Amino acid sequence: MTPSLPPTVAAHVPTGLLIGGGWRPASGGATFPVHDPGTTEVLFDVADATSDDAVAALTAADEAFAAYRSSAPSERSELLRAVYDAIRAHAEDIAALVTAEGGKPLAEARAEVAYAADYFRWFSGEAVRFDGLARRAPAGTHHQLVLRRPVGPALLITPWNFPIAMIARKVAPALAAGCTAIVKPARLAPLTTALVAEIIREELARRDLPGGVLNVVPSSSARGVSEPLLADPRLRKLSFTGSTEVGRTLLAGAAQNVLRTSMELGGNAPFLVFEDADLDAAVTGAIAAKMRNSGQTCVAANRFLVHAKVAGEFTERLTEAFATLVVGHGAEPGVTVGPLIEGAAVERVDELVAGAAGAGARVRIGGERPHRPGWFYAPTVLDRVTPDMPLVTEEIFGPVAAVLTFGSEQEAITMANATPFGLVAYAYTGDLSRALRLAEALDTGMLGVNRGMVSDATAPFGGVKSSGLGREGGAEGLDEYLDTVYVAV
């Protein structure tokens, strides 16, 4: 156990599988280790779910669905509000765990916990606001009712980079809609999911709601969990957040039983800085958009596209700002940049940077691994970057800013859209008309105008093109878990 995780928190982290309202070991008895990326030490060994465990979780979710689907919307609303209150009450403990297993600085972990809790508060409200329709048919021959009802048992697969926010964005709307859930957290960071699942388990039990409403099956074999469930007709919904490559495989699997799917996939966000931008604001926004979680976010600015007139000045100021960042273990006071999630991630980022530098890019700061234990990479800025470099065409997922230049608005739009991805874009400009033109022209699900952060539980989050299908948060987030039934009377 590392000192980074207070013993009082460690004592409360469940390490089993949650199936049908009780924690249990994996049926094969196996476990897998979860590391602190800031030290590489093992934090816990966690039960390693087998295919049989996954099917047992689906059985529990299916049985619970029969009762939970007819629970009163107000009861579900109160459940979610109580979960919100409990997360807020335990926020410090949860944040410590997010930092221990994911590496991000404690201040960022606290912000993630608050952001995640907001999904429970928001969907507590949405749970009693499903809309429907009743009207006389235009032909005058009958009446038409349009009703909404829960889709059914849902498989929720999440990534490691936001250990609480990613499950909150799925579990809160699923439970609000009346669906039951099986969560498959990421192998690299499953602990926070377990801690939050225990909070939800307690609140379900307190209300005499079925324990099988929420099941959790961490596993070192993701396919061992997903494949039997996607083949089982009792499963009715798949919501996935992760890489586009895995998303494609899961979409193919979901075709077997024609599941409702939500896909939050990879990004390659352009960060546009126009000649009329406030450069101080642009640098502040750039740090927010690039450096959260050491650059390991789907909404991370991946390509800084800067008007040639201001590129020199912007890069200079960005480099100065990077020089003030403090790299270290996320639990250390004052640290602003934590480790990457694993050794392989450091190798990958190093290869992207070395490849770009070898092809003519200039490293302005960083470009190396700090000498310290843990999986760290130094905050790095490169300019003289060209659009064909893998540093630009691939998702970097590290603390590396690549600066390219453009000469006109049209060129900026063409460069921004030259990617299969379309999750988010950022634009810094003093011209509102230009911002509105960009909102029309950029292939993106979200656009931050003079803002380096867009995520908000109350607004629809999601992408276009290879960045995914569906939206999380906002009113749209609930739709993902509801079917529409038309009744002609």
Is 2 among the residues that bind ligand NAD (CB under 6 A)? no
264 is catalytic: yes
Contacts of 312 (CB under 8 A, 6+ apart): none
- The active-site residue, picked from 264, 395, 472, 480, is 264
Binder to ligand NAD among 4, 180, 226, 294 (CB under 6 A)?
Answer: 226
| Shortest Å, Cβ 103 to ligand NAD | 14
Query: Does the footprint of ligand NAD cover residue 339 (CB under 6 A)?
Result: no
Contact status: 264 vs ligand NAD (CB under 6 A): yes
Pick out residues in 90-119 that bind ligand NAD (CB under 6 A). none
**Among 124, 158, 192, 444, interactor with ligand NAD by CB under 6 A:** 158
- The binder of ligand NAD chosen from 37, 163, 242, 379 (CB under 6 A): 242
Q: Distance from CA of residue 187 to its chain's centroid?
A: 15
465 binds ligand NAD (CB under 6 A): no
Q: Which one of the spans 32-40, 157-165, 272-280, 307-315 is the region binding ligand NAD (CB under 6 A)?
A: 157-165
Residue 146 beta carbon to ligand NAD: minimum distance, rounded to whole angstroms: 29
Nearer to ligand NAD, 95 or 217 (CB): 217
Residue 218 in contact with ligand NAD, rule: CB under 6 A? no
By CB under 6 A, the count of residues binding ligand NAD is: 26
Residue nearest to ligand NAD (CB): 242
| Minimum CB distance to ligand NAD, residue 232 (Å) | 14
For the bound state, the minimum distance from the C-beta of residue 264 to ligand NAD, rounded and expressed in Å, comes to 3
Q: Is 450 in the site for ligand NAD (CB under 6 A)?
A: no
If one asks whether residue 293 binds ligand NAD (CB under 6 A), the answer comes out as no
Contact between 477 and ligand NAD by CB under 6 A: the answer reads no
Stretch in the footprint of ligand NAD (CB under 6 A) among 50-58, 109-117, 183-191, 281-289: 183-191
What are the residues binding ligand NAD (CB under 6 A)? 157-161, 184, 186-187, 222-223, 226, 241-243, 246, 249-250, 264-267, 298, 395, 423, 463, 468
Q: Point out the residues that are catalytic.
A: 264, 298
